[in-house]
Structure 1
Amino acid sequence: MNNKKSVLLLASVMVASGALLAACRANTEEKNAAPTAGASAGAQPDKVNADGMPIVKNPINLEFFAPKRFAASDWNNILLWQEYEKLTNVKVKWNTVDRDNLVEKRNILLAGGDYPDALYGNRLTPSDLMMYGEQGVFVKLNDLIDKYAPNFKKLLDQYPDVKKAITMPDGNIYSFPTVTDPEFKSMLTGAFMWYKPDWLEKTGLPEPQTTDDFYRFLKAIKEKDPNTIPLGGGPGWDYLGKYLQGAWGLGNRGTTHPYVDVDPATNELRFIPADDRYKEMLQYTNKLYNEGLIDKDFFTANADQIIAKGSKGVYAVIADYNPEAVYSNLKGYVGAAALKGPHGDRIYSYIGSPVGSPGQFVITKKNKYPEATVRWVDYLYSDEGSKMFFMGFKDKTYVEKPDGTIDYTDEIKHNPKGLTQDQAVSQYLVWPGVGYPGILKQNYFKGAEGMPASVEAAKKVEPAFIKERWAPFNYTKEETERMTVLRADIETYVKEMTTKFITGGASFDEWSKYTDTLKKMGLSEYMKIYKAGYERYKKN
């Protein structure tokens, strides 16, 4: 979280992964048993210190592939990794790519066999982990974690859902995930609906408590000031949709599974985008769009364009991460309440599992130092490592206050060059806007989700939090191969049609045609595989 997310990332991953299946099968030489501790060429576990720093007595060199958010930052020269190299004796050569091109570039590397020692922050899906793990491209980590990852091993014991999420059906662990401290509620939610309290005064309306109230509020804003866009942010459906869906009782198992939850009427798995209540939610949003209450660029602009536009103060209500962190010069926004919908539902389903993306760090079979590499990433799960990763270094990126708390320097919080906090942080650290392995703790995360307004926004909606939140499910090799193809078709089609229904590109008279098309694409098989993953998840 932290940061803007590309709302099309999931679809891109699935399309790219599906296209690679044939190529990966052709590379039969890759299908060797994955190496374990000490098994890779040149590994010298006796020269890896069991604990403390440095990790190795004599310096070693590794190469990692990672996404980055801001083009100006060169990870090979950034303060965080320079200082961490001094601490560990592990020198990492960073091969980075803009996050928008991550999936394409990564899949080219994997398909061609030209991959580095580790993939960092790549948000690999369980499907990717299973496929490349079984082929031997990714190292099995079970024994390595037991021997060289005490911090991460402690987390696995403390939070069983983490272990369930990263253990593949073959019993192996191939990756390190992002983990959020379960008490860090504003991180589990991430984005909210934001507004300035003075708009309540200007419109003379109380804070919206229902979907009808919300519509009237946006409409009153437009009537009061035609030059203000009532609702913006995003971009796209992701943040707005997840905020609204709880008012229709949708998404009742959390955001980790955006398309599937449990139908309370039958207690069976439900494909959310084919449900009649999803249709009702889209009809409601279509009304907002048709009446000019949603930014006309909401579904076409990219994140940078939305940030530039929103920083001008043109949005009255923002569906996004904390505007104070994401946009320039926007202050004073507060989180909105959970809305009650037309059927009486009032759940806040925009909240995920403590397990973020499971595939944030993998070690490839080309790595000559897997033991040292595991120790390198394990430090990021410690209290000290988390503090270093997110806050940096005393008097350089953060200062200690008299009460013992820490905060970013004024240069970062109030950048003299007019940079947003995320942009200013990225001159020294690497977390804004991309994935990473490690643990997110409220004490050390001062990004959008950790700001006081975000913490208060989470408290406001906490009474409506859903009770059960699923972690990611995992699938067998055969299920993975089939599910990759099905997802590429079904989920891409859902995204396309959701936008069309909202913007008027498709009439709601076509709803039956839409659901029939989903069936023809193999929705029943999709749900059958999903159920198999769900049953396995419950059993584990």
Structure 2
Amino acid sequence: MGKKRAGKLLVTLGLVSTLLVGVTACSGGDSGGKTAESSDSFNQTGLPIVKEPITLNVLTVRWGNMGDTFTKNTWLQNLEKETNIKINWQVMSSNDWGEQKSIMLASGTLPDIVFGDIAFSDSDIVNNLSLFQPLDDYIDKYMPNLKAAMEESPELKKISTFPDGKMYSLPARLPSRPVTQNQPVINKAWLDRLGLQVPETIDELHQVLKAFKENDPNGNGKKDEIPYSGSGDISMDLLNPFGITDLNGTGMMIKDGKPVYYPTSEEYKEAIKWAHQLFSEGLIDQELFTQDNTMLTAKQQNPDVSLVGFTHQWTPDAVFGKWKDEYVTIPTISGPDGKRYQVGDPNGLSYRRNELLITTTCKYPEAAARWADQFYTNEASIQNFWGAIDTVIKKNDDGTYALMNPPAGTSADAWYWESSVRDFGPKYVSPSFEKNIILDPSNGDGLKLTIDKLGKDYVTIPFPNVMYTAEEFQELPTLTTDIDTYVRTTRAQWITKGGIDEQWDAYIKKLNEMGLERLVTIRTDAYERYNSVK
């Protein structure tokens, strides 16, 4: 082991040792073997949750160097006073969490609560079920807010039910989320300079991309325009007009109500042929398959003139730097069959699982469950997604809620992350409540909801974010690594050089030899379990 690696490991061990000592030393005192339910201190309803103060250790992971500013959220601070439960926040950075997590799971010494789905993945939980409390009984007895949410939105229970039929983690429904994922974005300034209309079909898009390449729309006298670009692999978004939609990146789609593996479908074959035509005419960046995101960003944000004509993005202002005002989101492009297919989820891109886990070492699981349930109200949820009322949110006399302007020099999104747990942790905003939330339609979350209207009617039902068994998790890495690599390699070859018709049968044969049938069986079994949850 090299000195640098050894040094890093020692630092990691030191950090985790410190955390584990904190977990052991501070869990609300000796319970004498009594649970909160059997204690006279525990209130099954109402506030405070406990008559005598207790402390719960809550671990959460934040992106990079975000730190713990969210703990100053007024709602969180008031919750401690109202419940009589002090929270000892243990905030970890995502930069170091991978190694720290492995050591923690191996030791079996965990905090009382794990907060946020960034901390533990499905496989982490499934392979360590003995470390986490099944939550079904606690939800039934002590979590009326979550129970009501699951009755209104059954998707919450479907995504959170593990293969053994139990819930080990709590879900979330984020507020004011769109239905569509990435949408088509085009350089409107280029269209206007060339006198072109917004393309609506793949044939019209083809002609627009040719005009972008040939007619110098950026006006610098050079043929340096790149009609379409990307990095590493062709975006599946470009293939949407052929009915290829893959929200969760599994290679699976729902077709006629059944899961199918689309890289062996006729739709995929035709889509790759079309992409090859674009590439052969120079309408797709010739460096797409060899450049990384840094190189792509340099083209998107070229300092002299805009270079890229068409793409798919979350919002049109997402990646183009100083040229962002040249770009607009346009309606979903129709395909050869005249239909439009848009990636997204008709239920909304709102649902999450693994947002809170109660560990088996927690001495007060009933109190922890009741504490977690406080997050499942509309007002609590918006304050834990954007920031506290009177700090980030203004509550109006008419019952609406508006977001305040961020401090000068701070982006709205950065301010929300500083002021709240944001994407992480339990929360639920009822769909009927969302009409009371006022968002600025010109940027951020409000802009996305505005442009969402251009594609929401065409969103297909996605292959869902299903759950796998421990045994399936053991098989999946080898199957997906081999198969995904082969599919990606042949896709690049066919788009750049052609030959898909001649090589198609050999491609299918190779995939079958790699275990494609088993992979599809695993995905399908998980899908059927998901749909069986009531």
Q: Same fold (TM over 0.5)?
A: yes
Shift of 1:301: 4.2
Report Cα offsets for 1:161-183 as digits up to 9, x if no partner: 332222223221111123257xx
Counterpart residue number, 2:336: 342
* 1:94 pairs with 2:84: no
* 1:427 pairs with 2:418: yes
Could you tell me how far apart the structure 2 residues matched to 1:305 and 1:421 are?
Answer: 25
Could you tell me how far apart the structure 1 residues matched to 2:81 and 2:319 are?
Answer: 32
Report Cα offsets for 1:193-215 as digits up to 9, x if no partner: 23454443223221121123223
Task: Provide closer, same or farther for how the CA distance between residues 349 and 425 of structure 1 changes in structure 2, counting only shifts above 3 A.
Answer: closer
- If you compute each CA radius of gyration, which structure gives the higher value, 1 or 2? 2
Counterpart residue number, 1:146: 140
**Corresponding letter in the other structure for 1:224:** P
Percent of aligned pairs sharing the same letter: 26
**Corresponding letter in the other structure for 2:163:** P
* Counterpart mapping for 1:288-303 below 5 A: 291=282, 293-294=284-285, 296=287, 301=292
Over the residues paired in the alignment, what is the CA RMSD in angstroms?
4.1
**Corresponding letter in the other structure for 1:530:** R
Could you tell me how far apart the structure 1 residues matched to 2:319 and 2:421 are?
Answer: 16
Report Cα offsets for 1:2-37 as digits up to 9, x if no partner: xxxxxxxxxxxxxxxxxxxxxxxxxxxxxxxxxxxx
Shift of 1:317: 4.1
2:523 aligns with one of 526, 530, 536: 530
Could you tell me how far apart the structure 1 residues matched to 2:102 and 2:295 are?
Answer: 25
Give SS of 2:67's match. Answer: coil
Q: Scaled by the length of structure 1, what TM-score is found?
A: 0.74
1:497 aligns with one of 489, 494, 499: 489
On the 8 A contact 1:40/1:367 being kept in 2, the answer is no
Give SS of 2:170's match. Answer: coil
* 1:217 pairs with 2:213: no
Counterpart residue number, 1:23: none
Counterpart residue number, 2:197: 206
Could you tell me how far apart the structure 1 residues matched to 2:525 and 2:108 are?
Answer: 32
Counterpart residue number, 1:399: 394
On the 8 A contact 2:273/2:498 being kept in 1, the answer is no
> Which shows bigger deviation, 147-156 or 341-350?
341-350
On the 8 A contact 2:64/2:93 being kept in 1, the answer is no
Could you tell me how far apart the structure 2 residues matched to 1:105 and 1:215 are?
Answer: 50
Shift of 1:299: 7.5
1:111 aligns with one of 106, 112, 119: 106
* 1:68 pairs with 2:62: yes
Could you tell me how far apart the structure 2 residues matched to 1:506 and 1:43 are?
Answer: 67
Query: 5+ unaligned residues in a row in structure 1: which ranges?
Result: 1-38
Task: Provide closer, same or farther for how the CA distance between residues 532 and 206 of structure 1 changes in structure 2, counting only shifts above 3 A.
Answer: same
Could you tell me how far apart the structure 1 residues matched to 2:382 and 2:525 are?
Answer: 39
* Counterpart mapping for 1:371-382 below 5 A: 371-382=366-377
Could you tell me how far apart the structure 1 residues matched to 2:326 and 2:82 are?
Answer: 40
On the 8 A contact 1:48/1:372 being kept in 2, the answer is yes
Counterpart residue number, 1:409: 404
Report Cα offsets for 1:314-346 as digits up to 9, x if no partner: 455452222457776745854321111234442
Shift of 1:232: 5.9
2:262 aligns with one of 253, 272, 275: 272
Higher RCO, 1 vs 2 (CA within 8 Å, ≥6 residues apart): 1
> Which shows bigger deviation, 509-518 or 150-159?
509-518
On the 8 A contact 2:393/2:404 being kept in 1, the answer is yes
Could you tell me how far apart the structure 2 residues matched to 1:151 and 1:116 are?
Answer: 24
Counterpart residue number, 1:247: 241
2:184 aligns with one of 189, 193, 205: 193
On the 8 A contact 1:390/1:445 being kept in 2, the answer is no
Count of aligned positions: 481
**Corresponding letter in the other structure for 1:396:** T
Give SS of 1:339's match. Answer: coil
**Corresponding letter in the other structure for 1:521:** M
2:252 aligns with one of 247, 256, 260: 260
Could you tell me how far apart the structure 2 residues matched to 1:158 and 1:64 are?
Answer: 28
Counterpart residue number, 2:359: 364
Query: 5+ unaligned residues in a row in structure 2: which ranges?
Result: 1-30
Give SS of 2:191's match. Answer: helix
**Corresponding letter in the other structure for 2:57:** E
Report Cα offsets for 1:353-386 as digits up to 9, x if no partner: 5573422322222222222322333222211211
Shift of 1:506: 9.8
Counterpart residue number, 1:319: 312
